Amino acid sequence: MVFVLVGLVTLGAALVTVTTKQLVHAALWLVVALGGIAVEYLLLTAEFIAWVQVLIYVGSVVVLILFGLMLTRAPIGRSPDADSGNRWLALAVSLAAAATLVTVVVDAFRATWIDLEERTGPGQGSSEVTGTALFRHWVLPFEALSVLLLAALVGAIVLSKRNSDAGSGSRPDGAGAAPARRNKAGES
């Protein structure tokens, strides 16, 4: 029952994330949605994956999004260009994608049940099993992802610098500079 309630809250937060016209509010609702997914992992006794979800997605990715919004000087309030007018097409595509995903997952795991009472060793979501799989098979993709996130942060800083230099009116040749003040003797 708790699993379904947390799932409904997560779904509601995800819907608000994609329907709001305020970018900062969308990022904060994304925190709620990703936190709900972490709670779902905890309810499935996958504690390691839950804390990775919190640290990487809630902690790093959302902070990176907020930094990107601040560094590129995105509008803080309502953004008129946040709605492209394709809302109904996007809704139809997302519902079709969700129906396909649910169908595939239900078909694939129809006969699979998680027995929370009987444990013979570390479970599939335990730290030991997950750590072994990550550091044996998935080290390179994690490192590639960290480089990609670093490149995105550097790109946001470069875009921010370009926009601030263009808006200040100063030019490298000094043509946009203010005229020098003359002292009392009339010399500059």
Walk along the chain (188 residues) and give the pLDDT tens digit of each residue. 888 899 999 999 998 988 888 888 888 899 999 999 999 998 887 888 888 889 888 888 888 887 877 777 766 666 666 666 777 888 889 889 989 999 998 888 888 776 656 655 556 666 777 778 778 888 888 888 889 989 988 888 888 777 666 655 555 555 554 455 555 555 54
Kindly report the pTM of this predicted structure.
0.56
| Token pair 């953004």: residue | 79
Centroid of chain to Cα 6? 20
| Contact of 27 with 60, CB cutoff 8 Å | no
How many CB atoms sit inside 10 A of residue 31's CB?
19
Please report, for residues 75, 86, 173, 174, the alpha-carbon distance to residue 182 in angstroms, rounded to integers and kept in the order given. Answer: 41, 59, 21, 18
For residue 22, the Cα-to-chain-centroid distance in whole angstroms is 15
